[in-house]
Amino acid sequence: MDDMKIKLLQALEQNHKISIKTLATMLKISEKEIKEMIEELEEAKIILGYVTLIDWEKTDNNDNVTAIIDVKVTPQRDVGFDTIAQRICRFPEVKSVYLMSGSYDLSVMIEGTSMKKVAFFVAEKLASLENVQSTATHFVLKKYKQDGIVFEEDENDHRLVISP
């Protein structure tokens, strides 16, 4: 992939609300080229979506609970971990699924409206899947940083207004 595409992706990864016009000025290429590149990247599924990072704690809708579950599974012949991972992905409660090195295999992040619902999901849906050997559930108590963004940070500019 060429250098310009990487630069475009890096800019969009930080802020996808940035306008095509601004992107064109920043990267010194035409708006048309930017548009085409974005379309191309979307089609190639390199850009998978544009999500917004929200601190739900600051809203009234803040009683969701998040859990990270270590899942041990028996890999299957020919397909390894892929089939079971894809099955787990299909549940809408599941926010992310990673294959891990180390003492367990899949790291599954789940969000639910209550602890009970998450526990129920793990017991009924996840642990009962064929090939799942065991699960260990860790509830998230507080989020400090996600996707490179610190939730509560002192953002004051300490600089003098004018300096040489």
Partner 1 sequence: MASGIKGIISLGVGESDFVTPWHIREASVYSLERGHTNYTPNSGLPELRQQICRYLHKKFGLEYDYSQEILITVGVSEAIDIALRCVLEPGDEVIIPEPCFVSYKPCTLMAGGAPKTVSTQEANHFKLMPEDLEEAITDKSKVLLMSYPNNPTGAVMNREELEAVARIVEKHDLLVISDEIYSELNYNGDHVSFSSLPGMKERTVLLNGFSKSFAMTGWRVGYAAASEDIISAMLKVHQYTIMCAPVMGQMAAIEALKNGEEEVKRMKAHYDQRRNLIANGLNQMGLSCFEPKGAFYVFPSIKSTGMNSLNFCEELLKEEKVAVVPGDAFGQCGEGYVRCSYAASMEQITEALNRMERFLQRQQKQKKIFALNN
Closest of 84, 72, 44, 67 to residue 134, by C-alpha:
72
Which one, 124 or 147, has the nearer CB to partner 1?
147
- Give the Cα separation of 148 and 18 in Å (integer): 18
3 state SS of 59:
coil
Number of residues that bind partner 1 (CB under 8 A): 17
- CA dihedral of residues 19, 16, 49, 129 (deg, nearest 10): -170
18 lies in the binding site for partner 1 (CB under 8 A): yes
160 lies in the binding site for partner 1 (CB under 8 A): yes
Which one, 22 or 83, has the nearer CB to partner 1?
22
Binding residue (CB under 8 A) for partner 1 from 16, 25, 36, 80 = 25
Distance of closest approach, residue 149 Cβ to partner 1, in angstroms = 14
